[in-house]
Amino acid sequence: MNLSERVNFYMPRAQSKDQASRGKYNCAESMFRAIVDYYNLDVSEDAKIQMAAFGGGLSQGDACGLLIGGYAALAHIYGGKSAPHSNPQLKEMCTQWYTSFKEKFGNTNCRHLKPGEGGCSALAIEAAGVFEKIAVK
């Protein structure tokens, strides 16, 4: 199963009529969980649960939860255990993720990206494809 298929597993496109019927996880959770699974990262369930707060653009339509979920995963992939914030590779990968995401979608804010009706499951699948291209481990 590729990364896009994993995101679709957590945030099923077929159920994207609205947030309540979309599935168990929001955009940030779905992206993060899919990446954790795909790259077989050692991440606790507590860390996965914490991603719930970031969905829906921080619940305000701001920074896209898919983008944030990707950032959180990059920290686990490239951050290391000792002073992850000072890792130049993490900074480079975060820059690549942001740039690639913005180039693909033209914006990074939920309110500008999310369709008027339904959820953003189709967008999540595309975002996973973007992530997969830049985050080769």
**DSSP of 26-37, one letter per residue?**
-HHHHHHHHHHH
One digit per residue, the tens of pLDDT, for the chain of length 137 reads 899 999 988 987 655 555 555 568 999 999 999 999 999 999 999 999 999 999 999 999 899 999 999 999 999 998 877 766 678 899 999 999 999 999 999 999 999 998 766 678 889 999 999 999 998 75
3-class secondary structure, 64? coil
Q: How many domains does the chain have?
A: 1
In eight-state DSSP terms, residue 117 is: S
Point out which residues pair with 79 in neighbouring strands: none
In eight-state DSSP terms, residue 57 is: I
Q: What domain range includes position 80?
A: 3-134
Alpha-carbon gap, residue 85 to 81, rounded angstroms: 10
